[in-house]
Amino acid sequence: MRLNNKTVLITGSGSGIGRASALRCAEEGATVISTDVDGDAAAETAAEIREAGGSADHYEFDVTDADAFRAAVEDTAETYGLDVLVNNAGIGQPPSRIEDVDKSVLDYVIDVNLKGPWNGTHAALPIMREQGHGTIVNMSSLAGQLGFPYQSVYALTKAAVINFTRATAAEAGPDGVRANAICPGFIDTQLADAYFAGRSDPEAAREEMVQDYPLRRLGEAEEIADCVVFLASEESSFVTGHALTADGGYSIS
């Protein structure tokens, strides 16, 4: 199996891409540490893995809480080891013109989407450096590559994640640590549902979006989970500092 004998900690694994990634990593032999601000959801993901015969544990914490994040990372490393950190937890923003974005929205999206990956990397990197190996996978977005109207704050944070990933890869590479990002297009998850719910006609907005994709559909969480497995595994051993686009062809249409 592709992740046999590896321990993978995934934030935001109570639902969506995070849960799909946790299940796929477990299928590939990893011990999965499921974490989420919703402790019950994190526990459900871990329980599903164990019921399928896999190995999993869970933690409840907010990724914006640096101390709580560090405690979970250090406890995981001491108990199970730590090979892969997937900074998946993130939030979107209600569609809005730049000048209409409320400061509370700006602060909250920045806190989760930027401080989350920072806090996780800050906690995990010393452990990975000392052991001489490790992999960090950060969840960015196509919005971080292209920018989208009425998604200015989300695009701002996801673009920053890409360059943070590159900086991490350049700095930690000599110590045997790889860092890569994934840039999904629209994936059929709760985050996408929330985006469309902000439109006057959600179903029409969804259908209009589908027509912008050469594959004529939105992505599935499991398809991004496959990207996580690839970047977490030794199959990508010579890949670092890369932003992997998984967008159904949107960026070329």
Which residues are catalytically annotated?
154
User: What is the token pair recorded at 34?
Assistant: 């499921």
Residue for token digits 């944070």? 157
DSSP string covering 157-215:
HHHHHHHHHHHHHHHHGGGTEEEEEEEE--BSSHHHHHHHHTSSSHHHHHHHHHTTSTT
Residue 150: left (phi > 0), alpha (psi -120 to 50), or beta?
left
In angstroms, the CA 16 to CA 116 distance is 17
Q: Which residues contact 97 (CB under 8 A, 6 or more apart)?
A: 150
Nearest to 41 by CA among 61, 67, 24, 65: 61
**3-class secondary-structure state, position 117:** helix
Strands 243-246 and 55-60: unpaired
